[in-house]
Structures are given as C-alpha cells and as structure tokens.
Structure 1
Amino acid sequence: MSINLEQIDELRKRANVSYEDAKAALEQNDGDLLCALVYLEKQNKIKPDEIPSSESKFFKKVKKLIKKGNETKIIVKKDDAVVLNICVTLGVIITIVATPIVITALILALATNHKIRIQKKNNEDLEVNSIFDKMSLAVNKVTTKITEEMKSE
C-alpha cells in the first residue's frame, strides 16, 4: 500500500512526531492510522503537545486579560499636563495592595480638578470616562460651593 502526504500529516498532527517516524509507522501498519498511533505509542515516540499542561483555558484568559490591561492606560491630567500615566494592570495591583491610599488619592484628584481618563491602545473613548466626567463635575460643584461659603464667612 502506498502512503500519501495527507496520512503522514494526520499522523504527525495526532502524535506530534517527525515525518520520518510517521511514514515508518504507517508503512509498518499498512497505512492504518489507528494501528500506526498504537505502534508509535508502544515505542514511546508520541511527544506531548508544545503547550504545557498547566496552560489551561483559565491561564490563557488571564494572560489575555493582563495583555489587554497592559495596553490600556489610566491617565490623570491637570490642565493638560499629565500627572500620572500607568497601565490598568498596575493600577489594579496598586488598588489591591493599597486600597485606602488609592481611594484617598482618587477623591483628592477629583477635588483638585484633575481629569481621570481610561485610554485604550487605539485612543478609543470609553464609557467609564463619561462617568469620571460626571463625578468630576459633581465634586467641582461641591468644592466651589464650599469655597464660596468659606469666603463669605
């Protein structure tokens, strides 16, 4: 029986072996793919996939999320001058480690008229930026009212 390239490719894909090993196994088993797989298995020639076993779907998703977080930036500006420019991944880590400091810094930034922006790699405007704008506007109204009352006293 003649062995064709499709059979060799299929065996290579399933067993992760060389062309030479795949061809020899198919020839030894008269072109029977299943028997060739068993033959290679008995000879301990089947190699594991290149992907480590710990590389599960969960880890792939986490890696993808981290990559996306590294491409997205948190930018804090005061009068068009950039005060802070960090990736979202770092921002999340800092928030987890030092939550009270981050909350205080966020309140102070809003109270001192800093603009907070989340910016994707392609400079796409995100919906969360409109929420930051509303928060900033509300805080500005309160701080203006407080300063006016303090001046009138």
Structure 2
Amino acid sequence: MSINLEQIDELRKRANVSYEDAKNALEQNEGNLIKSLIYLEKQNKIKPDEKPCNDNTFFKNVKSLIKKGNETKLIIKKNDNVVLNICVTLAVIIAISAAPIVIVGLILAIITNHKIRIVKKNNEDSQVNKIFDKVSVVVNKVTTKINEELKTE
C-alpha cells in the first residue's frame, strides 16, 4: 500500500504529530487512518493542540473592552469646573463594588446641576450624553418648581 502526502497531512492534523511519526504509523497500519490514530494513541504520541492562553477570544474581548474603557473618560462638571475625571473602567469597578453609593452620588450630581459626560478617545461625544442631558433638563425643571413652591409657602 502506498502512502501519499494527503494521508500524512490528515494524520498530522488530527494527531498533531511529526511527518515521520505520521508516515510510520500509516505504514504500520497499511494506510488506514483510524488504525494509525489508535496506534499513535497507544504509543502516547498524540499531542494536544498548543494554543496559548492569550489566543482565547474571551480574553481578547475583555482586553479590548478594558482598553476602550481606559480610553473613555467619565467627567462630572459643575459650572465648567471639573469635579471628577476618571476612566470608564475605574468607574465600572467602583459602580460594581459600591453600587448604592454610586447611585446616590449620581442622583445628587444631577439634582445639583452637575453635568455628566462620557468622552471618548478623540473628544468624541457619546450617545449616552444626550440621555444625561435630557434627564438633567427634566430634573432641573422639577427642582426649580420645587424651589419656587417652597419659597411661596
């Protein structure tokens, strides 16, 4: 039985062995791929695929997300004075670890007419800023009405 390169390549791909090991296994088993795989397995020659951990797509996505978060800033201003300027990655970590405090802080910031901004790498505005602006306008109207009511009493 003649062994051809396609058989050797197929066995190498499946068993992750050298050309020599693949050729010898096929010769020992008359070109039968399954018997050759069993033969290599019994000899402990089949090697696991060597893929480094950083090739994992999950870790690549997390790394990319952290990079974007580090390039994007959360800025809170009051009358053109910057009160807080941190990267979004840090803001998320703080929000996860101290959620109630962050929620109260954001509500207080909006009530006290602070501007909340998410600024991307090239000073590009985020769509979230439009939502912050709308919420801020509504809250400012409500606080103004409440203040007027309190003054008239």
After TM superposition, the score normalised by the length of structure 1 is 0.68
Equivalence for 1:109? 109
**Distance of aligned partners of 1:91 and 1:81 in 2 relative to their CA distance in 1, 3 Å threshold:** closer
Q: Distance in 1 between matches of 2:81 and 2:30?
A: 74
Which residue among 43, 65, 72 is the counterpart of 1:69?
65
Matched residue type, 1:31: G
Equivalence for 2:138? 138
Matches within 5 A, 1:2-151: 2-4=3-5, 6-51=6-51, 61=58, 63=59, 66-70=62-66, 71-72=68-69, 73-78=72-77, 79=80, 81=82, 83-88=84-89, 90-110=90-110, 111-117=112-118, 119=120, 123=124, 125-126=126-127, 128-146=128-146
Structure 1, residues 23-54: CA drift from partner, whole Å, max 9, x if none? 222232233221211111110111123359xx
Matched residue type, 2:12: R
**Partner SS, residue 140 of structure 1:** helix
- Report the alpha carbon displacement of residue 74 of structure 1 after superposing the two structures with TM: 4.7
Q: Distance in 2 between matches of 1:82 and 1:13?
A: 59
- Report the alpha carbon displacement of residue 116 of structure 1 after superposing the two structures with TM: 2.8
Give the share of equivalent positions with the same residue, in percent.
Answer: 55
Structure 1, residues 40-77: CA drift from partner, whole Å, max 9, x if none? 1110111123359xx8xxx954x455335312335224
**Partner SS, residue 114 of structure 2:** coil
- Report the alpha carbon displacement of residue 81 of structure 1 after superposing the two structures with TM: 4.7
For structure 2, the 5+ residue unaligned runs are none
Matched residue type, 1:116: R
Q: Distance in 1 between matches of 2:104 and 2:20?
A: 66
**Distance of aligned partners of 1:142 and 1:66 in 2 relative to their CA distance in 1, 3 Å threshold:** farther
After TM superposition, the score normalised by the length of structure 2 is 0.68
Structure 1, residues 3-30: CA drift from partner, whole Å, max 9, x if none? 21x3222222211222332222223223
Q: Aligned-pair RMSD on alpha carbons?
A: 3.5
How many residues end up aligned between the 2 structures?
144
**Distance of aligned partners of 1:81 and 1:149 in 2 relative to their CA distance in 1, 3 Å threshold:** same
The structure with the largest alpha-carbon Rg is 2
C-alpha contact (below 8 Å) 1:117/1:132 kept by paired residues: no
